[in-house]
Amino acid sequence: MHEGVSKGLIFDIQGHSIHDGPGTRTLVFLSGCPLRCAWCSNPEGLVLQPQLMYKPRLCKDCPARCVPGCPKGAARQSENGGSHILFDRVLCDSCDTMECVKVCYMRALQTSGKWYAVDELMRLFNRDRCYWGPEGGITLTGGEPLLQQEFVLNLLARCHDAGIAACVETSAYVPRTVLLAALPCIQWLFIDLKHMDSGRHRQGTGVPNELILDNLRWISRTNWPGRLVVRTPVVPGFNDTVANAEATAEFLAEIGLSEINLLPFHRLGASKYGQLGMSYEYAEQPAVGQEALEALAAVYREKAITCHLGSDTPF
Ligand code: SF4
Ligand code: SF4
């Protein structure tokens, strides 16, 4: 399934973004992530493999072509009648042809994730370039954009040579060598810091936080001339406590960083869990209120850390 290092798996490309770096930017969402945050809003980007997505509301007036169309027998009609289809996701996991998508004329079945060569992306960036303005460029996000390391380092080097400003949004749960190779080609870094307690971090994301903290410490000591903004998704019941905000502020001060961006938890990705056949732990979780966010922001500001809320980070 993998195309090797010559191509990268990308699950979305969005133009005209103004929230993830300065100016107007083209966002590239790379597939695959070593973390498993239970609140993730991009579940279609978790694994490094194209994903089958099923949208039942589009599935109608069709003789269920996908059922005989699946060579693995993974698709079957619901016993409750109607034209809704059930998919055996274990069998689907090993599928690399997605024949069912080809026979679904209603587009109820779609593939998330497409392999791109660096040249294809460079052509796309050159097309978008006239909309970016002097400050804009590209932002690589995901998933974890640095996971497909050889492809991404190649892409970043090409952008650098072409004078395209690059921003990367990463968990920093990556080897130091990858950051070392990427930094000279990056102008902006957003690094997610989800919890200061390593045990709680592991509970919420599936991995401990030591590597992330070490990488943050290391970057802050380098002479890298770009701008680093730490981002924390504020997740109810996980990290929305004053104690965690205080510990995070102390850590930032200790390593010489002076700004943070708090992003309130939202459920905008909820419908995608159903489309992927996944359950969503946060399906009923209300969003974080502005008052609660302001209370956390006050903790940072008391410790002289500039705190941006939501998409209000000044670029
Ligand atoms: S998923 Fe597509 S091919 Fe299958 S029954 Fe629905 S509309 Fe038809
Ligand atoms: S993705 Fe592959 S295995 Fe799954 S239903 Fe479609 S054709 Fe069958």
pLDDT over 80 (residue 268): yes
Share of the chain above pLDDT 90, in %: 85
For residue 202, which amino acid is it? R
Smallest CA-to-CA distance from 167 within 118, 222, 228, 223 is with 228
Q: Both tokens of residue 104? A: 């679904």
Mutate to test the pocket of ligand 1, among 55, 62, 87 (most ligand atoms within 8 A of CB): 62
Q: Relative to the CA of 100, which ligand 1 atom is closest?
A: 3
| pLDDT band for position 310 (cuts 50, 70, 90) | confident
Report how far residue 106's alpha carbon sits from residue 113's, in angstroms, rounded to the nearest whole number.
19
pLDDT over 80 (residue 25): yes
Distance 87 CA to ligand 2 centre (A): 8
114 lines ligand 2 (CB under 6 A): no
Residues 11 and 143: beta-carbon distance below 8 Å: yes
| pLDDT band for position 289 (cuts 50, 70, 90) | confident
Q: What is the pLDDT of residue 82?
A: 58
Q: What is the pLDDT of residue 1?
A: 40
Give alpha helix (H) positions in 59-165. Answer: 66-69, 89-93, 99-103, 118-132, 149-161
Weakest mean pLDDT among 61-65, 234-238, 268-272, 303-307: 61-65
Ligand nearest to the CA of 93: 2
Q: What is the pLDDT of residue 83?
A: 62
| pLDDT band for position 2 (cuts 50, 70, 90) | very low
Q: What is the pLDDT of residue 41?
A: 94
Q: Both tokens of residue 117? A: 């060569």
What H or E segment, with its residue span, contains residue 242?
helix 242-255
pLDDT over 50 (residue 34): yes
Q: Which domains are present in the chain?
A: 4-48+114-309 (3.20.20.70), 51-111 (3.30.70.20)
Q: Both tokens of residue 2? A: 């993998």
**Whole-Å CA distances, 105 to 52, 65, 96:** 15, 9, 19
pLDDT over 80 (residue 42): yes
Q: Relative to the CA of 75, which ligand 1 atom is closest?
A: 4
Q: What would the mean pLDDT of 114-135 be, rounded to a whole number?
A: 95
> Hey, which of 69-73, 248-252, 288-292 has the most confident mean pLDDT?
248-252
pLDDT over 50 (residue 309): yes
Report how far residue 260's alpha carbon sits from residue 14's, in angstroms, rounded to the nearest whole number.
25
pLDDT higher at 2 or 256: 256
Report how far residue 292's alpha carbon sits from residue 170's, in angstroms, rounded to the nearest whole number.
25
pLDDT over 70 (residue 214): yes
pLDDT over 90 (residue 314): no
| pLDDT band for position 287 (cuts 50, 70, 90) | confident
pLDDT over 70 (residue 86): yes
Distance 96 CA to ligand 2 centre (A): 8
Q: What is the pLDDT of residue 81?
A: 62
**Whole-Å CA distances, 241 to 95, 213, 282:** 43, 19, 18
Residues 45 and 30: beta-carbon distance below 8 Å: yes
Give the chain's end-to-end CA distance (angstroms, integer).
Answer: 39
Give per-residue pLDDT as tens, 170-190.
999 999 999 999 999 999 999
108 lines ligand 1 (CB under 6 A): yes
pLDDT over 60 (residue 4): no
Tokens 């997740």 belong to 235
Share of the chain above pLDDT 70, in %: 96
- Identify the bridge partners of residue 13 per DSSP, sorted by sequence position: 28
Length reported for the chain: 315
Q: What would the mean pLDDT of 226-252 be, rounded to a whole number?
A: 96
Q: What would the mean pLDDT of 265-287 be, rounded to a whole number?
A: 92
Q: Both tokens of residue 96? A: 């690399």
Q: What is the pLDDT of residue 60?
A: 84
Ligand nearest to the CA of 63: 1
Tokens 């960036």 belong to 125
Ligand nearest to the CA of 69: 2
Is residue 276 exposed (0-12), middle (13-18) or buried (19+ Cβ within 10 Å)?
buried
Q: What is the pLDDT of residue 93?
A: 80
| pLDDT band for position 5 (cuts 50, 70, 90) | low
Smallest CA-to-CA distance from 66 within 81, 54, 57 is with 54
Q: What is the pLDDT of residue 70?
A: 94
